[in-house]
């Protein structure tokens, strides 16, 4: 069936801040407690959405989550009014207060794993909210993620939204950041590739030594079962433990795929040759030939890949049969990466265009273009059945820019998290946003 891919970008929230909470994410950790600019962050993200929508790519958004997370703070014993809770947390547990104010839901690649209707046994598009249980600041996100997804994909004849897997180490699930769909075209059956960092129930399996492996094999298998995926078209590949220890906390920091193209670093997988062989054999079954674009360490080191987020890019299919690579501005500022990319677009391979964006606010917090988006391939009927208020249009863009200008600060310091006025500002902004998007029950304030 004919299908179109929509990218659902996370709309950056009014309390965007740099708390440095994500051990293993080098960019996030290196900018801890710096002042942020929520207004600029949101406007940078909106500019990206607008530009891609104007090019004809399917573009929509996922709304921010409510902050601070008072449920987290009250669940660990902070009591009294909201102002009391913030004051006590700021004094007794400032790191936990920062967790409650985490900006990480903006990276919707971690919101869920998505299997389009062409891949599922029941012919519906399936979503499983990611439990993100490796980090306290992310472990509460799945409730609102599922709520938002159900509000957008509410038609149960077309969509199924599953709650998160059990929140235990055995089922650590980081969503689409470790999931890639490879196919002939978006509407045809695909090979779904799950990349995992460790195996919970095999003590002999290799694992990183410095940084945590956040995705487990068991979680990936659980999502595949929930989505009703065919065993013949599902491939599980282990991420290279050594690159996790170099700051590659998700697979989408070292590889990205689209259509039949897999753009990856030669150190991405624990068993490169075996992984590619699995993919080729599985793709034979869906009538597609794998186009593997391998980036050698000699051309781009892992350190340069992490610093520039070369692979945390978007591969987008164009009408001419070629693909555009959406990259952060940092790729053009890294000499090795810039040189490689110029050669890539001139090579005659699938990628013939680079589109770059200034996403500095997101990049400083540890997420690039691919982190900001959740990919959802939809048939025409499915696209018509989802909530239309989140689809990016020129009119919505201007409405949201005005909303950001009204509600967002242009500087947020770490000490501001203790200010009760900030919590009130966020709540007021999100109430206004739910009205703009036509989703009155989006938040459970």
Single out the catalytic residue among 158, 179, 250, 407: 250
**Residue 429, SS3 per DSSP:** helix
- Which DSSP state fits 36? B
Other beta carbons within 10 Å of 40: 18
Alpha carbon distance 305, 138 (integer Å) = 25
Q: Pairing between strand 159-162 and 125-129? A: parallel
Q: Give the closest residue to 350 by CA, choosing from 332, 328, 324, 370.
A: 324
Cβ neighbours for 429, distance < 8 A, ≥ 6 positions apart: 14, 403, 406, 407, 408
Other beta carbons within 10 Å of 273: 8
Count of all residues that appear for the chain in the document: 445
Alpha-helical (H) ranges within 212-359 are 217-226, 241-244, 272-284, 302-308, 330-333, 335-345
387 in active site: no
Single out the catalytic residue among 186, 192, 371, 382: 371
Single out the catalytic residue among 174, 192, 218, 382: 174
Q: Does residue 338 contact residue 327 with C-beta atoms inside 8 Å?
A: no
Alpha carbon distance 423, 316 (integer Å) = 37
427 in active site: no
Alpha carbon distance 4, 433 (integer Å) = 27
Q: Which residues pair with 368 in a beta bridge?
A: none
Alpha carbon distance 445, 341 (integer Å) = 46
Alpha carbon distance 398, 403 (integer Å) = 9
Q: Give the closest residue to 210 by CA, choosing from 29, 372, 363, 365.
A: 29
265 in active site: no
- The label of the residue with tokens 């982190």 reads 371
- Cite the active site residues: 174, 250, 371
């Amino acid at each position: 069936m004919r299908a179109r891919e929509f990218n659902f970008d996370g709309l950056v929230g009014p309390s965007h801040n740099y708390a440095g909470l994500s051990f293993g994410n080098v960019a996030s950790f290196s900018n801890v407690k710096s002042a942020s600019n929520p207004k600029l962050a949101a406007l940078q993200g909106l500019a990206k959405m607008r530009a891609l929508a104007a090019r004809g790519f399917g573009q929509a958004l996922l709304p921010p989550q409510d902050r601070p997370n008072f449920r987290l703070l009250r669940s660990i014993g902070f009591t009294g009014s909201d102002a009391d809770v913030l004051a006590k947390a700021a004094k007794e547990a400032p790191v936990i207060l920062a967790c409650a104010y985490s900006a990480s839901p903006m990276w919707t690649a971690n919101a869920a794993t998505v299997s389009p209707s062409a891949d599922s046994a029941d012919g519906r598009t399936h979503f499983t909210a990611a439990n993100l249980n490796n980090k306290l600041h992310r472990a509460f996100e799945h409730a609102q993620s599922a709520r938002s997804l159900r509000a957008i994909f509410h038609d149960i004849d077309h969509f199924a939204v599953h709650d998160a897997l059990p929140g235990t180490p055995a089922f650590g699930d980081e969503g689409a950041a470790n999931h890639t769909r490879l196919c002939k075209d978006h509407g045809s059956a695909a090979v779904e590739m799950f990349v995992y960092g460790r195996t919970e129930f095999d003590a002999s399996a290799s694992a990183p030594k410095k940084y945590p492996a956040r995705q487990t094999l068991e979680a990936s298998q659980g999502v595949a079962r929930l989505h009703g995926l065919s065993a013949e078209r599902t491939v599980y590949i282990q991420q290279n433990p050594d690159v996790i220890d170099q700051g590659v906390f998700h697979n989408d920091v070292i590889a990205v795929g689209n259509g039949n193209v897999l753009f990856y670093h030669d150190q991405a997988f624990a068993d490169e040759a075996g992984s590619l062989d699995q993919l080729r054999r599985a793709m034979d079954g869906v009538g597609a030939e794998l186009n593997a674009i391998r980036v050698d360490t000699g051309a781009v080191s892992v350190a340069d890949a992490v610093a520039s987020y070369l692979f945390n890019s978007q591969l987008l299919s164009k009408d001419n049969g070629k693909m555009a690579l959406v990259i952060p501005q940092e790729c053009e500022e890294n000499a090795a990466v810039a040189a490689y990319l110029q050669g890539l677009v001139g090579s005659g391979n699938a990628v013939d265009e680079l589109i770059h964006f200034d996403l500095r606010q997101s990049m400083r917090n540890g997420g690039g273009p691919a982190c900001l988006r959740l990919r959802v391939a939809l048939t025409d009927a499915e696209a018509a059945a989802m909530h239309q208020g989140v689809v990016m249009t020129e009119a919505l863009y201007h409405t949201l820019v005005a909303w950001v200008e009204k509600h967002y600060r242009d500087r947020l310091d770490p000490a501001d998290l203790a200010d009760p006025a900030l919590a009130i500002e966020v709540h007021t902004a999100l109430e206004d946003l739910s009205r703009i998007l036509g989703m009155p029950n989006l938040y459970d304030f």
